[in-house]
Chains A and B, each alone.
Chain A
Amino acid sequence: MTSLFTDAGILAHADLVITSVDPGSYLGSPLYAVIPEHRLAFLGLVLVLLGAWWVRRRAARHLSCEETCVYRRYDRLGLRERFVFWFITTSAVVHLGLVLGHEPSGYTLAYMLATIALSWISLRLLTDRPWRRPARYVLIGSIFGYAGTLLAGGAPDQIGILTKLIEIAALAGIIVAPVATSQGKVAESLRSASVVGLIVITGFAGWVGAMSTGDGGHHLGETPPPGVLLPGGEDREPTATEQSRADHLYEETVAALAKFEDPAVAASHGYDVEGMFGNDFHAGNESLKDDGRILDPHNPETLVYAMAGDRPVLLGAMFEMDEIGQAGPAVGGPLTVWHAHDHICLSLTPVGIAGLQGPFGSCPAGAINIPITNEMFHVWVLPGLEDPFGDIDEDWLDEYLTDIATR
């Protein structure tokens, strides 16, 4: 069946349909990107790597220079001290890049203080003055300062997370004994565990920051939460035509989906309703995927259900494009924005969605990373919803489901 929304005439409207989208032009969560203000810091990171290589070469050639020359001093450092030196220096340079990359604010002052403190420690290390105790304090302060910023709603990005990993490694280089000793086993295990703990704290804060920065990811101009990609563009008011088309799409979808309120009917049409649970269960229909029909309310690729106690409730439909990078027809303009997903973790034991790629750049072991999906678009058919194409408020949904469960 061909509906209004798969009509070639509508799809051909240049102002409604983007015919092809470069996957790189999507707007995603800053968690998986280097935000523009951090590009100088990234440059600093690269320069330190080059500097490390250069100093290493020069140090080997300048062993005959004066006792106090920098190369002699560097050469006197033990392997572990060099490791800590470069990591602290890297953090100092990155913080300097942050100072230069941001508009002046309280944060830039904090970055500047961190730059000074970290540089001071690097210098003390190189000049053989006591450095371990102040290094511990500064590194712990920097790691917890960043975690605090994220927990307060700051956005994590690749530079931020990588710098904290570098600082945690430097701190580990100070607190963890070079090799295990037979004395103080418990203390040594605790020190090792504290390194693990710092990673978990940073990772947890990264998730909180990334989630609280996201705006929902269904309207243009929003910052998507992790795992959601939006096409670039600014939100605007819909035109009368767009509003009318959106209303029509909603009404037609509500009418077409009524029969699927009973999951048995959905199953008879090929939807996989087995093992239904939770309040966001997606029942896909493989036979409708890649079938050439786009945004057909009578044949949505996926139905979405929630459980109200032991009763399944149909929430709506999810339409999908056939190919990655193919833009969906925004028939209702800014009301009907399609989105894609990125960094999805797919478990292989057994096969199924297993969350999103974490702040440290990996899915859990045993899962593969799906970097991007086809574009998709939800139409929610629940009565009383303010925005049938956007996010369903979780509290509203819980209340709605509780009400149904107690009827």
Chain B
Amino acid sequence: MNYVSLHPLVSIVRILVLLQAGIAVMSTVEASFASLAFGPAAGGLVFINLGLATMLFLLANRLGHGSNPARRILRLLQVLLIVWAFFDLTLAVALAGRSIELVGFATRIVLPVYVWRTLRRPDVKASFQARRAEPEARDRVLTGAPA
């Protein structure tokens, strides 16, 4: 089953955003343990990461409904994550001459860059705008029908 007008790449982006949400949930768990072991410094991170995880999960869902605001917020969120990752990477190189590891490179650079780039593709963007112009499509589920 598929909506008429949403670009197929959006379904890939949804999956990747769900992975990001899962990683944020894991970070929340890690921050909770850290706050028990190291004190209140990590306490604030629990709320930040819980908020991020919830936001990513809901945005992945809203993206599937063709929500253009969700697309925009996700794009902004990805930019923040990419900037933060580059800040971290710069610090690692400057402090110790170390680069990012394989998993970190995949989850912190490749994944957000792919999501960000995909969401700003003109054809993806246009598919969201087309749905906004055609609100009845929201409730129309077509099977293999041409757009």
Chain A residues within CB distance 8 Å of chain B: 23-24, 32-34, 42, 78-80, 83, 158-159, 161-162, 165, 168-169, 172-173, 176-183, 188-189, 192-193, 195-200, 203-204, 207, 275, 277-278, 280, 324-325, 345, 347, 349-372
The one of B1, B8, B85, B103 in contact with A181, judged by C-beta atoms closer than 8 angstroms, is B1
B57 at interface, CB cutoff 8 A: yes
B34 at interface, CB cutoff 8 A: yes
A33 to B64 CA separation, bound complex (whole angstroms): 36
Q: Can you list 5 A-B contacts (CB < 8 A)?
A: A42-B102, A192-B18, A196-B18, A199-B23, A371-B98
CB of A165 within 8 A of CB of B57, answer no
A280 partner residues in chain B, CB cutoff 8 A: 37
The one of A161, A176, A325 in contact with B103, judged by C-beta atoms closer than 8 angstroms, is A161
B38 partner residues in chain A, CB cutoff 8 A: 352-355
CB of B95 within 8 A of CB of A165, answer no
CB of A354 within 8 A of CB of B41, answer yes
Q: How far is the CB of A164 from chain B (nearest CB, A)?
A: 10
CB of B141 within 8 A of CB of A178, answer no
Q: How far is the CB of B106 from chain A (nearest CB, A)?
A: 6
The one of B3, B11, B31, B108 in contact with A354, judged by C-beta atoms closer than 8 angstroms, is B31
The closest CB in chain B to the CB of A180 belongs to B64
CB of A165 within 8 A of CB of B101, answer no
The one of B96, B107, B139 in contact with A372, judged by C-beta atoms closer than 8 angstroms, is B96
CB of A360 within 8 A of CB of B65, answer no
The one of B8, B18, B37, B108 in contact with A362, judged by C-beta atoms closer than 8 angstroms, is B108
B26 partner residues in chain A, CB cutoff 8 A: 199-200, 203-204, 358-360
Q: Chain B 1-18 against A: per-residue CB contact (8 Å), 1 yes, 0 no?
A: 111001011111011101
CB of B92 within 8 A of CB of A349, answer no
CB of B101 within 8 A of CB of A361, answer yes
Chain B count of residues within 8 A CB distance of the other chain: 71
CB of B25 within 8 A of CB of A200, answer yes
B69 at interface, CB cutoff 8 A: no
B residues 40-96 touching A (CB-CB < 8 Å): 40-42, 44-46, 48-49, 52-53, 57, 60-62, 64-66, 81, 84-85, 87-88, 91-92, 95-96
Q: Chain B 98-113 against A: per-residue CB contact (8 Å), 1 yes, 0 no?
A: 1011111111100000
CB of B96 within 8 A of CB of A23, answer yes
Q: What does DSSP make chain B's interface, helix, strand, loop or mixed?
A: helix
CB of B103 within 8 A of CB of A351, answer no
With known contacts A200-B26, A277-B39, A369-B88, A195–B6 Cβ distance under 8 A: no
A325 to B25 CA separation, bound complex (whole angstroms): 34
A200 partner residues in chain B, CB cutoff 8 A: 22, 25-26, 29
A356 to B33 CA separation, bound complex (whole angstroms): 10
CB of B44 within 8 A of CB of A347, answer yes
CB of A361 within 8 A of CB of B104, answer yes
A353 to B41 CA separation, bound complex (whole angstroms): 7
A358 to B48 CA separation, bound complex (whole angstroms): 16
Q: How far is the CB of A93 from chain B (nearest CB, A)?
A: 15
CB of A180 within 8 A of CB of B61, answer yes
List 20 extra interface pairs beyond A179-B3, A188-B61, A368-B91, CB under 8 A: A162-B103, A165-B106, A178-B8, A179-B2, A179-B66, A180-B64, A192-B57, A196-B21, A199-B22, A353-B39, A361-B107, A361-B108, A363-B88, A364-B31, A365-B52, A366-B45, A367-B42, A369-B91, A370-B91, A371-B95
CB of A169 within 8 A of CB of B103, answer no
The one of A193, A360, A371 in contact with B91, judged by C-beta atoms closer than 8 angstroms, is A371
With known contacts A162-B103, A176-B14, A196-B57, A275–B39 Cβ distance under 8 A: yes
A244 to B44 CA separation, bound complex (whole angstroms): 47
Between B25, B44, B100, the greatest number of chain A beta carbons within 10 A of the residue's beta carbon is seen for B44
A367 to B35 CA separation, bound complex (whole angstroms): 13
CB of A362 within 8 A of CB of B107, answer yes
B97 at interface, CB cutoff 8 A: yes
CB of A366 within 8 A of CB of B16, answer no
A325 to B95 CA separation, bound complex (whole angstroms): 10
CB of A165 within 8 A of CB of B103, answer yes
Q: How far is the CB of B48 from chain A (nearest CB, A)?
A: 4
Q: How far is the CB of A299 from chain B (nearest CB, A)?
A: 25
A79 to B15 CA separation, bound complex (whole angstroms): 13
CB of B95 within 8 A of CB of A324, answer yes
Q: How far is the CB of A19 from chain B (nearest CB, A)?
A: 18
B129 at interface, CB cutoff 8 A: no
The closest CB in chain B to the CB of A276 belongs to B39
A360 partner residues in chain B, CB cutoff 8 A: 23, 26, 103-104, 107
A203 partner residues in chain B, CB cutoff 8 A: 23, 26, 29-30
